[in-house]
Amino acid sequence: MPDEDEFSLEEGKILIKFTRENIEYFLKNSRRVPVPDQIKERFSEKYGAFVTLNQYNVSGNPLRGCIGNIEPTYSLIDTIHKVSISSATEDPRFPSVTFEEMNNIVIELSILTPPKLLEVNDPKEYLDKIIIGRDGLIAQKGKWRRGLLLPQVPVDHGRDWDVETFLSQTCYKTGLPMDSWKDIRNVKIYSFQAILFEEKEPRGEIIRKYLK
C-alpha cells in the first residue's frame, strides 16, 4: 500500500519515462516496448495504477485520455505497460492519440492504494469520511456498474469541488443519477489514495504531484 515514502522521485521519473517510451513505441510500431529486466524486478509488487494524458497549455479541461486498473491485480510495471497504451488508444471518449500529438502531451501517473469500502448508516456520514485532495472515489451498483474519479479530479484545472459534488460527479461517471450516493442500500462508495507523478511539460521535468 503506497505511502509518502513508498516511491521516490527517482522511481517516479523512471516510471514516467518508461510510460512515454512505451506509448510512443506503440504508436510507431503497433506493439509495446519490451520491459527491461531491471525495471521489471524493481517494480514487481502489485498495484493499481492509472495513466492520464493531458494536452499541454490547453485552457479548460485538457484531458486527452485516462485508463487504468483499480485493483492491485498485476505488478506495477505490468499494469503501466498495459494501461499506458490503453490511455492513448482505447479511451472511448477520444480518438487514438497520434505519434505527432505526443509532442504536446504531458503524462501523469497515479499509483493507487487498494479501494476501501466506506461503511455508513446515513449518507451524510460520507461528508466527514471523505477528504478532498486525499481521496479518490469509486461508486458501484451491483456487480458490473462501477465508476471511478481520481483524487486529483476535484482540484485540478480550476475545479473546487466539495465532497457532495465529488460524490455526485462520481455517480455520474458511473452512469447513475447524481444523487445515487444517498442510496446506501444499493450503491456502495469506496475510497482510495494515490501517489502522483507528472511531467511539467512534454518530455520535461518530472515531479511528484501534491494536491494539498
pTM value is 0.90
Distance CA(97)–CA(105), nearest Å, equals 9
Q: What is the pLDDT of residue 58?
A: 82
Domains of the chain, residue spans: 9-113+194-209, 116-192
Q: What is the pLDDT of residue 3?
A: 53
Other beta carbons less than 10 A from residue 54's beta carbon: 22
Q: Is 63 helix (H, G, I), strand (E, B) or coil?
A: strand
The CATH code that applies to domain 116-192 is 3.30.1490.150
Question: Does residue 1 carry a pLDDT above 60?
Answer: no
- Condensed to tens digits (0 to 9), the pLDDT of residues 46-82 reads 999 999 999 998 877 799 999 999 999 999 999 999 9
Q: pLDDT averaged over the chain?
A: 94
Nearest by Cα to 80 from 43, 49, 41: 49
CATH level 3 topology of 9-113+194-209: Glycoprotein, Type 4 Pilin (3.30.700)
- Condensed to tens digits (0 to 9), the pLDDT of residues 11-25 reads 999 999 999 999 999
Return the H-helix or E-strand segment holding 116. Answer: strand 116-117
Percentage with pLDDT > 70 across the chain:
97
